Amino acid sequence: MKFAVIVFPGSNCDVDMFHAIKDELGQEVEYVWHDATNLDEYDGILLPGGFSYGDYLRSGAIARFSNVMNEVVKAAEQGKPVLGVCNGFQILLESGLLPGAMQRNKGLKFICRTVPLRVENDKTMFTSEYENGEEIMIPIAHGEGNYYCDEATLATLRENNQIVFRYAGDNPNGSLDSIAGIVNEKGNVLGMMPHPERAVSELLGSADGLKLFKSIVRNWRETYVVTS
């Protein structure tokens, strides 16, 4: 499986994502600059964390207009897995690939620590290696991770089982319904504030995030790889 790590001016977790895919997952991966106009050769698209375009206007608001985002939307429409982490999640929200918006953390401070998450849906292409209700330890590092949507959207997310991860225990940023990650209705676009790419080895304090990437590869193989 071949992944693209999209790099925007201000991305700072692209190397972490590249390491997770190449060194821990053992899959092919390339950096793709934000002005790219074709992603057809890639099987999975990864939008890393950071401060794209300095987070001016709003987090992700300028990156949403990068050339490459037209191709990300195209890949999502084709059913390819698209993962946005932290700033990547914010970009997915700004681009309309996921519903809702991000606000400043409830304490108006940047938060950087490892937190417990609960897997709310193990039937997605991103979570098939987990058990439903499983608690995992994943780092967060953000100042605008307070997810919000209107009541109708929240009802839809619940009804369609689109809430994939919730914060377990304390809600660190005030996110609505303790939401830490959601998928689109088709189930192939995941946005999450916690950083699974920073939890792919026990040397990092947790390997719980590696299952997410293994789930993507497992789904891809079951869907696209024909064995004789």
Please provide residue 162's backbone torsions phi and psi, each rounded to the nearest 5 degrees.
Answer: -90, -10
Selected catalytic residue, list 94, 120, 144, 197: 197
Taking CA atoms, 125 is separated from 169, 185, 215, in Å, by 25, 13, 6
Share of the chain above pLDDT 70, in %: 99
Q: What is the pLDDT of residue 227?
A: 46
The residues spanned by each domain of the chain are: 2-224
Q: Is the pLDDT of residue 225 over 90?
A: no
Burial of 191 by CB count in 10 Å (0-12 exposed, 13-18 middle, 19+ buried)? buried
Closest by CA to 118, choosing from 99, 138, 98, is 138
Q: Is 134 a catalytic site residue?
A: no
| Tokens of residue 154, six digits | 């929240």
What band does 226 get if pLDDT is binned at 50, 70 and 90?
Answer: low
Task: Say which CATH class 2-224 falls into.
Answer: alpha beta
Q: What is the pLDDT of residue 228?
A: 40
User: What is d(CA 130, CA 149) in angstroms, rounded to the nearest whole number?
Assistant: 27
Q: Is 13 a catalytic site residue?
A: no
User: What is d(CA 84, CA 145) in angstroms, rounded to the nearest whole number?
Assistant: 13
Mean model confidence pLDDT for the chain: 96
Average pLDDT of the residues in 116-143: 98
Selected catalytic residue, list 34, 86, 144, 149: 86
Average pLDDT of the residues in 40-55: 96
What is the per-residue pLDDT across 48-63, written as a single tens digit (0 to 9) for each? 999 999 988 889 999 9
What is the per-residue pLDDT across 143-192, written as a single tens digit (0 to 9) for each? 999 999 999 999 999 999 999 999 998 999 999 999 999 999 999 999 99
Burial of 147 by CB count in 10 Å (0-12 exposed, 13-18 middle, 19+ buried)? buried
User: What is d(CA 16, CA 163) in angstroms, rounded to the nearest whole number?
Assistant: 25
Average pLDDT of the residues in 75-98: 98
Q: Is the pLDDT of residue 95 over 60?
A: yes
Q: Is 195 a catalytic site residue?
A: yes
Taking CA atoms, 11 is separated from 7, 32, 156, 178, 194, in Å, by 6, 12, 31, 26, 16
> Which residue did the predictor score with more confidence, 226 or 106?
106
